[in-house]
Amino acid sequence: MEEYPEELRTPPVALVSLVGCPEHHQAISGYLHSQQPPINVLALPDFSKVPVVLSKKVKDSGSGDPPSGILKRDWLLKHRTKVPALMAALFSSLDISGDPTQWLQVCSDLENLKAAIRPRNVKLVLVVVLQSTSADDINEDRMIALKKRAEVDSKYLLMYTPNDVSELKLSLNRLGNAFSELASVHYREEGRRIRTKVEKRGYNFPELHMRYCFKVAIYAEFRRDWNEALKFYEEAYRILREIVGTSTRLPPIQRLVEIKSVAEQLQFKISTLLLHGGKVMEAVQWFCQYNVAYKRLVGAPQVPYLHWEWMSRQFLVFAELLETSSATMQSISSLVVGGTDRTLTEWEFRPAYYYQLAANYLKKKQSSLEISLSMTDNSSEADSSIDSVVPSIYVGQFARSLGQGDELFMHPLTDEQYVQYTLAERKRFQDSYEIIALLKKAYESYSSLKAQRMSSTCGLKIAKEYFSLDDYANTKQLCDGIITLYRQEGWVALIWEVLGYLKECSRKLGAVKSFIEYSLEMAALPVHPDTNITFLGFVESGPTGPPSLQQREHIQKEVMELIGKDSGDGLSVEKSTDLRLSEKNPLNLEIDFVSPLRTVLLASVAFHEQMIKPGVSTLITLSLLSQLPLSIEIDQIDLQFNQSHCNFSITNKEKYASTTMFSSVEQSQRMEIASSLILTTNRWLRLTYEIKSEQSGKLECVLIIVKLGPHFSIICRAESPASMADLPLWKFEDRAETFPTKDPALALTGQKGTQIEEPEPLVDLALGATGPALVGESFMVPVTVMAKGHDVYSGELKINLVDVRGGGLFSPRETEASFLDGHHVELLSIAGAEWEDKSQGSDSNINRIQQSFGLISVPTVKNGETWSCELEIKWHRPKPIMLFVSLGYFSQESDPTSQKINIHKSLQIEGKIAVMINHRIMLPFRQDPLLLSMVKPPEADQLVSLPLGESNVLIVSARNCTEVPIRVESLSIETDSSSPSTSCCIKPGSGPGSPGFTLLVAEEEFKKIFTVKAEVDSTPLSLGIVCLRWRRDPGSHDPSTRTIVTTKHKLPDVNVEVPPLIVSLVCPPYAVLGDPFTYFVKIQNQTPLLQELKVSLSDSQSFLMSGTHSGTVFVLPKSEHIMSYKVIPLSSGTQQLPKYSFTSTRYSAGFQPSVAASTIFVFPSEPRFKGVNDRGKNLESVATI
C-alpha cells in the first residue's frame, strides 16, 4: 500500500488559496486545517503569483486523436496541491479606505485575479482585513464598489478582524463556513460539468469515458459524497473491463500493464470506500470478483512475472486494507452468519488469508522471473537504452526520456524494450525476503487465531524460503516447531516432507546426531509399499524426494553406512559432507517414552514373575521391535538395572569371537552370547535370560543400550509391555501386531520391574508376658531371641509402646498430654543378664531407652542359641498398650552387601488397678454422743465428726480388683508428717491380723480394724494415709522376684467435737427366755450446765418391763444420770428391746437408738459354751460384723 502515492491513499481534501496580506495566512490556514473536514490552504504572498499557479495548458479540444493514456499520473496531485477550489483575496481595510492610488491598486489586483481564475472556474471570496477594531473607518462606498467589481455575493465579502480575540474567532468561523461552502459548490460544479460530458457521450474513446468517470468520482470524494464516488469508480472499472480486449493503442504487453495499473487504482479506491463504509462483506465480494476477472490475464508469455507480481500486490494491498479496517469491524463470525449465501468463508475475512496468497503469487513471480531471466541471459547490450526509461505522464505507462538540450522528450517504448526494462528492474530485488515477510504476517495472524494447521503451513513455506536462501539454521528451527503438530496428528506425507528438510539442514549444518535422528525417523515412517503409487506424484516433496519404500531403504542404508555398519555402495554421506563418527566423537541416540524415534527401536522388558525370592533366579524377556525397512544386525545389547550388579550384556556370536579382546576389559560383567541378533521389520526380537538378585527391594530394568557399529549406540528406556503406549504413526496403520512376548498373558501384564522379597528370618522372637499388668508394679516382659537357622549379627532390638486407643500410634496430642503429667506407661529399663555381661567394655553397642521407645543392640547369637532380656514397664494409669518389638539383624558377619533381615512381634497388654481401698469409721457400740454438728441438716462435703476422747472404730478394707492373686504384705496407717502426732491416736485393733501375708484372690477383700481416739479438739483432724504393701503372688516362684508395691490411700479428714451429752445403753450381750435382766440407760452430762431431757419408752411385745415410761430428767453438770429397767424376755430369737427416746430441751435435739443397738438375742434356754471366757468375746465379734 505504501507504494501508492499519498494523494491516492488518503481521501481528497479541499484546497483553497489565500492571496494578499501574507501576515494573516498562518492563522487562517492553521484554523482551516483543524476544521472537520479539514481544508488545505495554498498561501500565495502576493497577487502576482496567481496566474502562475492557475495557468492552464491549452488543450486541443479536438476529439480526433485518441488519448494516449487513460489517467494522467499527476492529475489528482494537481487538484490536491495546486488548483484551489476558491481563491480568497485578502485586502487591508486601510488599502480600501486609503488614498486613490491604494484603491486603484486594489482594483487592478482584483481584475487580474478574476482573469486568472475564470478559466478554472475557481470561486472568489473577498476578505477585508480590518486593521482597527472599529468598523467606522471603512468606506461604505468603496466596499460596495469592491463587491461590484468582484462580482461576488455579499455573503462572500467577509470581514476579518485579527486584533480582537473574540472577534478573531468569529471571523475565522465565518471564513471557514464560507470556504467549505464555496469549495463544495466548486467541486459540485466541476463534477457536474464532467458528468454532463459523460452523459452526453461527447467523446469517441472509452479511455476518455473512464477518465471522466474517475474525475467525477474524485470530485465526489472532495465533497465527501462517497456513494457517488463509489458509483463512478465502479462505472470506470466496468468500462476498463470492456477495453481489455479491444484497445490497440499500445503494444500488447504495455497495454495490459496500463490497464492493470488503472484497475489497481480503481480497485483500491473501491475497496477503501467499501471498507471505510463498514461494508466488509461487499468489499470482500468485490475483491473476489476482481480477482476472478483479472487472475487469468497473464498476458504475454515473455512477462508472466509481471502478472504474478501485480497479483501479489493486489492481495497484499487488500490484506493491508482489511487489517487497518478490521479494528472497527464487528466479529467475523457474525459477518459470515449474516451473509445469506455461503459463498464466503471465515478465512476470506481474515487478512492472513490474503497475505498468504500474496506470498504465493510472489513465489510464482519469483519462479517465472527466474525462467525469464535464464532465457534472456545474454541480452546485456540493451542496458544503455533502458537506462533512461521513466514512468510517463500516464498511469501505468513507461517511456524513454530523451534529453535534447533543456527539454525532455518522452519517447514511447517498444515491447521488447519494455521487457528488458522490467527484467533489469526486477533483477535487482531479492523476492525471497519479501515472501518471508508476507508469510510471517500470515503465520502470526493465523497463530493468533489459533489456526495452528494454517500457521504450520505458512511456517513450512517460510522454512522452504529460508532453505532456498541457504539459511539452514532458520529452516531447521521452523521445521522443528511445525513437525510436532504433524507428528501428533499423524500426517505421514507432511512429516516426510518436513523431515526431508530437517535432514538436509542437519547435513548442511554438519549436525551428525540430528542428521541420524531425522534419517532414522524418516526411514521408519509408515509409508505403505502397496499404496504409495498415488504418493508418487509429489513434485515439491522436499529435498529427499517423494515418500516411498525405496526412499526409506535408501535413507537407512545411508545411515548404516555413516555409522559404519555398511560398506556402502557409492552413495556415501561422508564424501559429500563432513559428517563422521569416530572413536573421539561416538554417538549415543536416546529414545524415551515420548520420542518419535520409538518407531526406530522399541525396547520392552518383562519379568516373568512379579515377585521373587532373593537369590532365586527368574526369567526376563527383552523384546526389541523396529519399523526400519531393512534388517539390522545388532552388535551388542546392554541391559542396565537399578541394581547395577544385575547388569548384563548380550552379544552376537560372531562379534563376540572377533571382539574378545574388547570385551575382556569388562570381564566383571555378565556376558550372554546370542546366536543371532538380527532385527527385522515389524518383528519382535525376543531374548529370554535368567536373572537373580540377592538384594531385596525393587529390581527394575532401566536402560537398554543397543550398540550398532563401533561408535554408535541407541539408548532406549525400557518399557513394560503392560503399560506400553502405541507406536506413534504406526498405530493408525493396518499392520500385523504381535505381542512382545511369546506368552500373551505376559504381554498384557508384564512389568519391567519385579519385587524381590526380603529374606525369610530364621530367628524366633518371643514375648512372654502373661495376664494384665497392675498399676504401680514393674511389669516384666521377657523377650527371647532364638536363632533357628541363622546366626544373628549386629542385631538391633527396637521396642515401641503404643497406645491402643490411638489406633496403634500415639496421637500428637496424646503424647503431649502424657508428657505433661508424666507418661501413663513407661518403659523403665531393659534387663538382660547375658547382654549386660557381654556388652561390657564395648561402647559401640546401642542402648537407648526413652519413655515409650527403646533401642538396644543384641549380641551375636549363634545358630541354636537363645538370648533373652526383660523389659520393665511401669503403668501409672490403667491403660491398655500395644508393645511392638522388632529385631533387625544380619545373617552374615561383616558382609556389607548382605541384606538386613527383620522380624516383628507385637503384644497387647492391659494395665489394671490392683486393689481398691475403702474405710469406714464407727462410733463405740451402744454409746451415742450428742454431736451438735450432726443435728443440723447435713451439708455437702461435710466432714465426719468424731467425739473427743472416745474410742472410735476405723475399718480399712482392700479389695483385689483383678484376676491375679496378690499377696498383701502389710496394711498400716501412717500419720501425716504435717499434722501433730499427738492429736489423735490410732492403734491397730485386735483384728485377725496374720503374722506373714494374706493371699487375696479375685474380688476378695482384706480388712483391718483400727481404733481412733481423738485427743485434741482440733478441726479438722487428719487421720493419715493407709499404706498397703502388696506383691503379685509369685506362686511357686521365689517371692523375691516380685517387687513389693505400696498402694497408698489417704483417709479423709474428720471433725473433732466435744459432745455435750452421751447416752449409753448397757445391757447384757444376750438374754435367756424368761430370765429377767436389767438394762440401764446412762446419760452423761459433760457440760457445766444443767441438762433437761424428756424421756419416753415404748413397750415391746417380746418383753415384760418395769420402770418409768415417760418423764423429764434433769442431769446435773458434769455428772451422770442412770435409768434402769428390769425386763423379762417373752419370746426367743433376735428381739427388739423396748425403745426409748430422749429430747434435749437445751439443744432441741431428739435421740433414738438405732435398731442394731437396741437388738438383743434371746436364747430359748441357757446356752452351753465350751468355755465361759470365750462366750462374751464370740458374741461381740458377731455383733461387730
Partner 1 sequence: MIVCVAIVGHQNNPLYIQSFTEGDDALKLHHVVHCSLDVVDERVNNPKKSGPMLNETYLGLLYPTENYKVYGYLTNTKVKFILVTTDLDIKDADVRNFFRKFHAAYVDAVSNPFHVPGKKITSKTFAERISTIVKAFGLSSAG
Q: Using CB under 8 A, list all residues that contact partner 1.
A: 292, 333, 337, 342-343, 345-348, 353, 357, 360, 446, 451-454, 457, 460, 488-494, 497, 528, 531, 534-535, 537-541, 731-734
Closest-CA residue to 462 (of 482, 447, 448, 445): 482
Give strand pairing partners of 954: 921, 1010
The residue to which cell 496407717 is assigned: 973
Residue nearer to partner 1 on the CB measure, 350 or 717: 350
Helix (H) / strand (E) containing 305 = helix 304-326
Q: What is the dihedral of CA 111, 117, 121, 123, to 10 degrees?
A: -70
* Longest CA span, the chain: 187
Check: CB of residue 998 under 8 Å from CB of residue 937.
Answer: no
The residue to which cell 487472475 is assigned: 295
Residue nearer to partner 1 on the CB measure, 539 or 820: 539
Give the whole-angstrom CA distance, residue 545 versus residue 500: 8
Q: What is the dihedral of CA 1039, 1040, 1041, 1042, to 10 degrees?
A: 70
> What one-character DSSP code corresponds to residue 98?
S
Q: How far is the CB of 541 from partner 1 (least distance, A)?
A: 5
Give the whole-angstrom CA distance, residue 14 versus residue 1023: 126
Q: How far is the CB of 723 from partner 1 (least distance, A)?
A: 19
| Angle ∠(466,467,470) on CA atoms, nearest 5 | 90
At 716, phi and psi to the nearest 5? -105, 140
Half-sphere exposure of 587 (CA within 13 A, CB side): 20
At 835, phi and psi to the nearest 5? -65, -45
Residue nearer to partner 1 on the CB measure, 298 or 1065: 298
Residue nearer to partner 1 on the CB measure, 361 or 1125: 361
Check: CB of residue 386 under 8 Å from CB of residue 421.
Answer: yes
Taking residue 326's Cβ as centre, other Cβ atoms within 10 Å add up to 15
Check: CB of residue 51 under 8 Å from CB of residue 109.
Answer: no
Give strand pairing partners of 626: 681
Give the whole-angstrom CA distance, residue 565 versus residue 560: 5
Q: How far is the CB of 354 from partner 1 (least distance, A)?
A: 11
Residue nearer to partner 1 on the CB measure, 333 or 379: 333
Sequence-distant (≥ 6) Cβ neighbours of residue 378 within 8 angstroms: none
Residue nearer to partner 1 on the CB measure, 273 or 442: 442
Q: How far is the CB of 484 from partner 1 (least distance, A)?
A: 13
Give the whole-angstrom CA distance, residue 1119 versus residue 1116: 6
Taking residue 965's Cβ as centre, other Cβ atoms within 10 Å add up to 15
Give the whole-angstrom CA distance, residue 407 versus residue 401: 10
Give the whole-angstrom CA distance, residue 665 versus residue 651: 15
Residue nearer to partner 1 on the CB measure, 347 or 1077: 347
325's grid cell: 479496517
169's grid cell: 474567532
At 293, phi and psi to the nearest 5? -65, -40
Q: How far is the CB of 328 from partner 1 (least distance, A)?
A: 21
Residue nearer to partner 1 on the CB measure, 337 or 1182: 337
For 506-538, give one letter per residue: b (16+ CB within 10 A) or e. bbbbebbebbbbbbbbbbbbbbbeeebeebeee
Q: Crossing angle for the helix pair 100-117 and 140-150, nearest 10 degrees?
A: 20
948's grid cell: 473427743
Q: How far is the CB of 489 from partner 1 (least distance, A)?
A: 4
Q: How far is the CB of 406 from partner 1 (least distance, A)?
A: 51
Helix (H) / strand (E) containing 335 = helix 332-338
Helix (H) / strand (E) containing 837 = helix 833-838
Q: How far is the CB of 296 from partner 1 (least distance, A)?
A: 12
Residue nearer to partner 1 on the CB measure, 179 or 446: 446
Residue nearer to partner 1 on the CB measure, 295 or 862: 295
In the chain, the amino acid numbered 130 is L
Residue nearer to partner 1 on the CB measure, 537 or 1171: 537
Sequence-distant (≥ 6) Cβ neighbours of residue 837 within 8 angstroms: none
Residue nearer to partner 1 on the CB measure, 271 or 360: 360
Residue nearer to partner 1 on the CB measure, 140 or 734: 734
For 619-650, give one letter per residue: b (16+ CB within 10 A) or e. ebbbbbbbbbbbebebbbbbbbbebeebbbbb
Sequence-distant (≥ 6) Cβ neighbours of residue 101 within 8 angstroms: none
Residue nearer to partner 1 on the CB measure, 20 or 500: 500
In the chain, the amino acid numbered 918 is N
Residue nearer to partner 1 on the CB measure, 460 or 1063: 460
Residue nearer to partner 1 on the CB measure, 494 or 797: 494
Residue nearer to partner 1 on the CB measure, 332 or 702: 332
Residue nearer to partner 1 on the CB measure, 531 or 668: 531
Q: How far is the CB of 692 from partner 1 (least distance, A)?
A: 40
Q: How far is the CB of 446 from partner 1 (least distance, A)?
A: 8
Give strand pairing partners of 921: 954
Q: How far is the CB of 482 from partner 1 (least distance, A)?
A: 11
85's grid cell: 477550489
Closest-CA residue to 635 (of 666, 665, 671, 668): 671
Helix (H) / strand (E) containing 30 = helix 25-33
